[in-house]
Amino acid sequence: MKLQNYALGKWIDGDGEGKALHNAINGEVVAMATSKGLDFAEMMHYARTVGGPKLRKMTFHERGRMIKKLALHLHGVRKKFYPISYATGATKGDSWVDIDGGIGTLFAYASLRKKFPNESYYVDGEAASLSKGGTFIGHHIMVPKEGVAIHINAFNFPVWGMLEKVAVNLLAGVPAIVKPATITSFLTEAFVKEIVASKILPEGALQLICGSAHGILDHVISQDIVTFTGSATTGKMLKSTPRILDEAVPFNMEADSLNCSVLGPNAVPGTPEFELFVKEVKREMTVKCGQKCTAIRRIIVPQNLVDAVQIALGKELAKTTIGDPQVEGVKMGALAGKAQVIEVKERIDILLNSSKIVYGNLENFEVIGADKNKGSFMSPILLLNEDPFNKTDVHDIEAFGPVSTIVPYNGMDEAIELAKMGKGSLCCSIATGDDKVAREFVLGAASHHGRILVINEESAKESTGHGSPMPMLVHGGPGRAGGGEEMGGMRGVMHYLQRCAIQGSPTSITAITNQYQVGAKQTEKQVHPFRKHFEELEVGETLITAKHTVTEADIANFANVSGDNFYAHVDATSLEGTIFEGRVAHGYFVLSKAAGLFVDAKKGPVLLNYGLDECRFVKPVYPGMTIGVKFTVKEKIDQEKRDEEDIAKGIVKFLVDVYDETGETVAIATILTMVKKINQEL
């Protein structure tokens, strides 16, 4: 079977026979792969001119719903991909991480749409005042880049590696070309065929290259984005492509790194943290046969606990049965291919110059349900480096398989230093029940790691573990790890957006952003805003309320009702040395009275008060002062119906500007109201 490439809206066979891809369990040929004959420049032009415009016309909410629909579809058919995944050497558990984990990332980014406006762009941060009179301000807006995301992925996660990147660029409104590692691309191809057949994504949103993509980076332009996952050596070579440098193309690199896990000094045998540590290390050595960019390569333990860890870990590793993932009882499958076996053994040979094997055997191990010589199997190998400060291969050489090394430390300073000697990693963990130890380690080591997990009994039941990147947190790391950041929730989406500073009058910036800016022109309407449905309200329309003169009775009554008897409100004799000239009204009284002034009490489209944001009391209010409110529609946030029975509605943010008889603002806040829509079919 020859794998197909998906380019220019159709499935295309590459020229020639191609490269043979083998079943990692039995060595049989699974497929042939070639991309020969593809025009990469034409593919990129197609993405930019066909897929890009379609995605950019959609709002964040529409893109998010599209991703959710895709996730639901793939979740419903996911089981049919497991047999294909087994051929990559993955067990059922490994496949779950890859397949279900990838689909889970789609769901996570679909939900993230709610953090963005129902617009095709995003308004970033707060407005900046650029003039004394307030007629000139600045802001930042973020729009989708008009290029294509090129994803060059690693062999270890052929599904998750694609979906965790594609979910982000699709939500941002940018099309993608996916180049999976050829060796396991047969699984990626099967998944993309399902995606294309679903017809959920617009034309041009996704293309696939099965085979070599040599030369594709020679066609990038400044609006494109490149992401790379793989070895640091390959990543550095690609990152230095002249075209990447000439066009200043963003290049996000996530490279394999020498991640570590630290056993805290008080996590001795018999404590929950010791047991959790051993299980976590064992899991990271054996899941995906150790072929994870986040796998634990350096096991940093107190000098006095080296023997205990070695024995305990050896017992756990001995329970690891190796073989065909489809055979009952098999816990670890195979490496992705024979070439990986050779490479890992070569790296182990180098490490043996400064370390020794304390568990496992490179040749003598049992395999269940398969021929050890035909498949790409390997025993877990546990090494011990007794002098890690002087024999530093362990901090430089990575064996990308079920291989890890114990290194001892004396004192937290040494543990931190050893952790940093990896020259930057994707993730690190520390097992300790002492939060003071955790704080010392995290603050000392965070500069050299993209993520740090604290392992303890309290979080054990729900913790996702050392090697699990989470969609809402950044995945990447400094130095050797490549210096990139993937996922990270909203942070990841912004990697595909262009931030542009905009300057002008508050009225102009309001018109551009569709968010009311303080100082912009306000429009008074005859109908009270609480009498209007969501669709009828306009950003900038303002209610000027009646006014109220504050009295001492107001202050006394509010103190009695609220129980707030702070001295500045109730004891005029205690004000000497304070900033107050006399008894001052409660800030919350001012806000409450403001609500009394702007609320229309009759039943109408307003369903409820949803919350309060950005409340500030900026000027004291004394008895005798008169306050009024300018009540302005600040922003409208569309909401989706949860089901057919739900009420169609949206959230309206109102700017509450409370001012005194001099016209100065005394309090300012943003309230959120839930407002019914006219059209209940939406």
Catalytic site positions: 254, 293
| Partners of 383 in beta bridges | 357, 405
Residue 490: its H or E element: helix 490-494
610 touches 670 (CB < 8 A): no
Measured in degrees and rounded to the nearest 5, phi and psi for residue 366 equal: -95, 145
Return the closest-CA partner of residue 554 out of 621, 631, 601: 621
Neighbour tally for 54: CB within 10 Å: 15
> Which residues touch 22 (CB under 8 Å, ≥6 apart)?
28, 29, 30, 337, 338
Nearest to 649 by CA among 599, 598, 606: 606
Instruction: Determine phi and psi for 96, rounding to 5 degrees.
Output: -60, -45
Nearest to 394 by CA among 263, 300, 282: 300
Q: What are phi and psi of 445, to 5 degrees?
A: -110, -10
Q: In this structure, which amino acid lies at residue 456?
A: N
Number of Cβ atoms within 10 Å of the Cβ of 359: 21
Closest CA to 152 of 45, 239, 82: 239
For residue 76, what are its two tokens? 């419903």
Burial class (CB in 10 A: 0-12, 13-18, 19+), 406: buried
Cβ burial of 125 (10 Å; 0-12, 13-18, 19+) is exposed
Phi-psi region of 205 (alpha: psi -120 to 50; beta: other; left: phi over 0): alpha
Burial class of 623 by CB neighbour count within 10 A (0 to 12, 13 to 18, 19+):
middle
